[in-house]
Structure 1
Amino acid sequence: MPRYSRSLIILHWAMALLILAAWLTSVGGRQVRLNPPLLHFSLGLSVLLLVLPRLVARWWGSQPRIEDPQGPWLNLAAKIGHAVLYLFMIGLPLTGWYAASRMGIGVSLFGLSLPAIVASAQGAPGPVAEIHETGGTIILVLAGLHSVIALWHQFVLRDGMMQRMNPV
């Protein structure tokens, strides 16, 4: 089975690690205003920065064609699943940036200060912050499901699908 390009493999695993690290470094509630999670901000924004080259690489054909498709419904489910993951990889960093801006917290990408994307407001940051927090958990569930499906291909179907994204 053909493999993904080296660039897509690197981006895939780098983003997987960044997403997990961003989730592990997240905090909520009052702690955010008192002690902003700067590493969390940088990790999340790194995902946003990497998603564009990843989409461009996919669009330019760095993604191998599946030689033995599992059928139209499973292929459609796979496309929808990947699209949802991409929406979260774009939406989560943007909603986090919005929520931080709304709380008046400066956002930086590993020391590079970024502008606020909305005016700060007193009180609770609003529903976007809640969407961001819930979305962080959802993307982990989706990534876990993505991993379980990959393992299913490897050990149940034995179709070599995981070799396409193997970094070695």
Structure 2
Amino acid sequence: MPDMIARYPKALVVLHWATAAAVLGAWATAEGGREVVQHPPLLHFTLGLAVLALVLPRLVLRLMGGTQPDHGSRPLAVAVGAGHALLYALLIALPLTGWHAASQMGVGVQFLGIHLPALTAPVQGRPGIVAEFHESAGSLILLLAGLHAMMALWHQFVLRDGTLRRMSLR
């Protein structure tokens, strides 16, 4: 019997799971405060910038026509679209605000051995609202990712529409 489930392209699936792993890793290795100046969390920086590096081709693939399920109703489709848009916005904003906050603290940022330019001049005192946004958004993205996962499970086990299989590599 042929597979009747419309799958996401393999490249999109790989980017999805790699992004999820990088987000979780960045969150797990996060450090805050001025101690970052003395002990920069290089793994956190690398994972955060990996999120940015992964999300850009992911967006291109999605815009080129990654398969989308039929959500049945217009309000539900709008809610799903808004949720995905917010996740993508955070996947871009978090690495950029982290890089900005590090620059404000005078901490050099590198990605895979490449030294990146500072996004702003160092400041004395607290790094400011961008750093505060970065910290809060780090928690928000985990909440949204958790809701995203719960909805995938609801689709798979309540609606029985094969959602998890669509996102598998098999």
Give the TM bin, normalised by the shorter chain.
Answer: over 0.9
Matched, 1:13 2:17: yes
Match of 1:33 among 26, 32, 37: 37
| Superposed displacement of residue 70, structure 1 | 2.7
CA RMSD, 1 decimal: 1.0
Amino acid corresponding to residue 42 of structure 1 in structure 2: T
Question: What's 2:59 paired with?
Answer: 55
Query: Is the CA contact 1:39–1:110 (under 8 Å) kept in the aligned structure 2?
Result: no
Counterpart of 2:110 in 1: which secondary structure? strand
Counterpart of 1:113 in 2: which secondary structure? strand
State the 4+ residue runs in structure 1 displaced beyond 6 angstroms.
Answer: none
Matches within 5 A, 1:91-130: 91-130=93-132
Q: Output the CA distance in 1 between the equivalents of 2:59 and 2:116.
A: 23
Q: Output the CA distance in 1 between the equivalents of 2:164 and 2:27.
A: 25
Amino acid corresponding to residue 74 of structure 2 in structure 1: P
Unaligned runs of 5+ in 2: none
Unaligned runs of 5+ in 1: none
Amino acid corresponding to residue 125 of structure 1 in structure 2: P
Q: Output the CA distance in 1 between the equivalents of 2:142 and 2:72.
A: 25
Match of 1:2 among 6, 22, 45: 6
Amino acid corresponding to residue 61 of structure 2 in structure 1: A
Query: Is the CA contact 1:154–1:162 (under 8 Å) kept in the aligned structure 2?
Result: yes
Q: Output the CA distance in 2 between the equivalents of 1:55 and 1:69.
A: 20
Query: Is the CA contact 1:9–1:166 (under 8 Å) kept in the aligned structure 2?
Result: yes
Percent identity for Structure 1 against Structure 2? 56
Residues 65 and 135 of structure 1: CA distance in aligned 2, closer, same or farther (over 3 Å)? closer
Query: Is the CA contact 2:19–2:54 (under 8 Å) kept in the aligned structure 1?
Result: yes
Amino acid corresponding to residue 28 of structure 2 in structure 1: L
TM-score, normalization: structure 1?
Answer: 0.95
Q: Output the CA distance in 2 between the equivalents of 1:18 and 1:122.
A: 31
Query: Is the CA contact 2:46–2:110 (under 8 Å) kept in the aligned structure 1?
Result: yes
